[in-house]
């Protein structure tokens, strides 16, 4: 059977955010007709199907739930693109969190491969610098995936963190069940049944937002049974929904089942050492589960047996290769490697990228002329070269405005017992950017304009005229000031716990107030463009 797929990446938030926009703040539609909440509320969270424009579940319907009309029915019942959406409006800081739960390409088909579950997400924060009403700052933090890396034997710089000369492998899991099916097609009748990949689907379970104590909020998501393909960054071809079985095996270096991956965010107000300021901190805890099965392309019988695994010869008319299979203690042995034998192990890193956008409300059509670069702990700009950092801070008008803090929690915990340093690394590597771009399936701006125009019933020209206030953001959102990764040099395929912090500086006498509704217009447009960069709602399957 010849299976072909033509699938754009997951449908995401265009309809959601377009519906929140009105021509003027005074007539701003807050979106209660779509999901029964608006952005002036302190907190809410729900599962939303962006393909069918439907609220899938909402554990705490808002006060406007009776006004919801558009979000009640599934417009496209055979396609689901479900995202966990969490909203928090606290102490002059608005936070929007979007995490993929799962997507299904065709529910009417009996083929279980038409399903994906991947731990990709965005945290967008909007705030005004202390003492400022004219300027608005938007910080994007994107989770781009898990990066495996190896310091090769001929590497002159052995420093436990990834460099340009190291072997770098980006984890792909968007099309998890399809890729799993492709690999099992290769393995069928060539490996024992126990070495086939388990067909249990990956899942994403939301941690709905709640106020766990006065002024402290918690939310997040837990993924389970995630199938990850690791591909070398220097291989320019991607691992999308159009690849064949042989292409997957040729482009991949390793793949495996990750038992669990939890992201938990805790938001709170803290005192600051800086006079007249307080800190709204968002602590992000990564809980990375253990690898339950692990396959390495190219491991022959001698190598696999050495680490306690098995090797299989895969032969096709025009290609052949070995695959090493590891479970139980063999996973730890293989991931650790053996330096004395010249076999480097694998280390792990969480890959992210961050961006800053500053908007001058009095002159919104012009680029902000001030500084928009993060600086490290020494005051040097980030993104210029590969370097280790302990923090990334943004100052506005010579005053701290935002900080990513890694030094406050410098260690990670392996297998719930041992602590090791968790260096944070800025990696100036164009291959990282190109691979992340391929993964995200970035949406062309002209197509975004068409989508906005079609949804609002306005022409493109009229729409952009309405968007002139925010128009320049179209080219900025989804960009990156720098890629950064939190590194776990000793991995062993075990559990890892680590928690960096994001900090927004706010006036000490803020009185607990939230940003009023007028500013929501700005955030809404930024959110629309930002998350639409991941998008589109057409998923087709052809046989």
Sign of the torsion angle spanned by Cα atoms 220, 448, 402, 389: positive
Q: What are the C-alpha distances in Å from 464 to residues 23, 461, 467?
A: 11, 5, 5
* Residue entry with tokens 């390409």: 105
Q: For residue 466, how many other CB atoms are within 10 A of its CB?
A: 18
Residue 361 CB-density burial (10 A; 0-12 exposed, 13-18 middle, 19+ buried): middle
Q: For residue 414, how many other CB atoms are within 10 A of its CB?
A: 19
Q: What are the C-alpha distances in Å from 542 to residues 4, 77, 396, 463?
A: 6, 18, 52, 35
Is the CB of residue 359 less than 8 Å from the CB of residue 342?
A: no
Rounded distance, CA 386 to CA 164, Å? 8
pTM, full prediction: 0.84
Q: Residue 398: enclosing H or E segment and its boundaries?
A: none
* Residue entry with tokens 């280390």: 347
Rounded distance, CA 417 to CA 395, Å? 38
Rounded distance, CA 266 to CA 130, Å? 22
Output the tens digit of pLDDT for each of the chain's 543 residues.
333 222 222 223 333 333 222 223 333 334 566 678 877 788 999 998 877 778 899 998 877 777 776 677 887 787 787 889 899 988 888 888 888 898 887 766 666 667 888 888 888 888 888 888 788 888 888 888 899 998 765 555 566 888 877 889 999 887 888 899 999 999 999 999 999 998 889 999 999 999 999 999 999 999 999 999 999 888 878 887 788 888 999 899 999 999 999 999 999 999 988 888 899 999 988 899 999 999 999 999 999 999 999 999 998 878 889 999 999 999 999 999 998 888 888 999 999 888 888 877 666 566 677 778 899 999 988 877 888 999 999 999 888 999 999 887 889 999 999 999 999 988 877 777 777 766 654 333 333 333 333 333 334 344 334 444 344 444 555 566 788 989 999 999 999 998 888 899 888 865 455 554 434 444 444 444 433 333 333 333 333
Residue 283: CA count within 13 A, CB half-sphere: 15
């Amino acid at each position: 059977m010849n299976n072909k797929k033509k699938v754009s990446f997951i449908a995401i938030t265009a309809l959601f955010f377009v519906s929140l926009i009105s021509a003027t703040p005074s007539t701003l539609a807050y979106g209660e007709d779509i999901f029964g909440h608006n952005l002036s509320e302190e907190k809410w969270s729900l599962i939303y199907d962006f393909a069918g424009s439907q609220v899938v579940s909402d554990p705490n319907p808002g006060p406007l739930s009776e006004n919801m009309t558009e979000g009640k029915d599934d417009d496209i019942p055979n396609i689901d693109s479900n995202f966990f959406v969490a909203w928090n409006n606290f102490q002059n800081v608005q936070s929007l969190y979007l995490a993929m739960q799962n997507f299904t390409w065709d529910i009417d088909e009996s083929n279980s491969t038409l399903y994906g579950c991947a731990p990709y997400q965005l945290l967008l924060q909007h705030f005004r610098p202390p003492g400022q009403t004219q300027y608005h700052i938007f910080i994007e933090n994107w989770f781009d995936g898990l990066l495996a890396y190896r310091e090769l034997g001929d590497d002159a710089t052995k420093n436990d963190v990834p460099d340009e000369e190291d072997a770098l492998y980006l984890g792909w899991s968007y099309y998890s069940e399809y890729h799993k099916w492709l690999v099992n097609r290769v393995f069928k009748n060539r490996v024992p049944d126990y070495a086939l990949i388990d067909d249990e689907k990956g899942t994403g379970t939301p941690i709905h937002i709640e106020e766990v104590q006065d002024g402290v909020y918690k939310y997040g998501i837990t993924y389970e049974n995630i199938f990850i393909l690791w591909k070398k960054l220097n291989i320019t071809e991607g691992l999308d929904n159009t690849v064949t079985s042989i292409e997957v095996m040729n482009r991949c270096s390793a793949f495996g089942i990750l038992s669990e991956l939890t992201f938990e965010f805790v938001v709170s107000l803290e005192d600051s050492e800086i006079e007249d300021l307080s800190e709204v901190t968002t602590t992000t805890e990564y809980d990375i589960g253990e690898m339950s099965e692990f396959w390495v392309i190219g491991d022959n019988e001698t190598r696999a047996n050495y680490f306690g695994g098995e090797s299989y010869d895969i032969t096709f008319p025009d290609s052949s290769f070995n695959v090493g299979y590891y479970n139980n203690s063999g996973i730890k042995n293989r991931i650790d490697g053996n330096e004395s034998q010249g076999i480097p192990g694998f280390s792990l890193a969480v890959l992210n990228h961050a961006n800053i956008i500053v908007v001058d409300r009095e002159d919104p059509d012009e680029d902000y002329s001030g500084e928009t670069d993060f600086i490290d702990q020494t005051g040097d700009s980030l993104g210029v070269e590969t370097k280790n950092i302990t923090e990334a801070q943004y100052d506005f008008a010579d005053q701290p405005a935002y900080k990513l803090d890694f030094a406050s929690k410098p260690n990670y915990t392996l297998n719930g017992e041992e602590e090791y340093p968790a260096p944070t690394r800025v990696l100036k590597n164009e291959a990282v950017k190109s691979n992340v771009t391929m993964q995200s399936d970035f949406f062309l701006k002209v197509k975004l304009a068409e989508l906005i125009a079609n949804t609002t019933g306005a022409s493109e020209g009229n729409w952009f005229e309405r968007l002139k206030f925010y128009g320049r953001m179209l080219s900025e959102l989804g960009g990156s000031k720098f890629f950064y990764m939190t590194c776990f040099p000793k991995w062993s395929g075990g559990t890892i716990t680590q928690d960096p912090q994001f900090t927004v500086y706010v006036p000490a006498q803020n009185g607990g107030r939230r940003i009023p509704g007028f500013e929501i217009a700005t955030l809404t447009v930024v959110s629309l463009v930002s998350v639409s960069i991941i998008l589109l709602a057409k998923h087709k399957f052809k046989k």
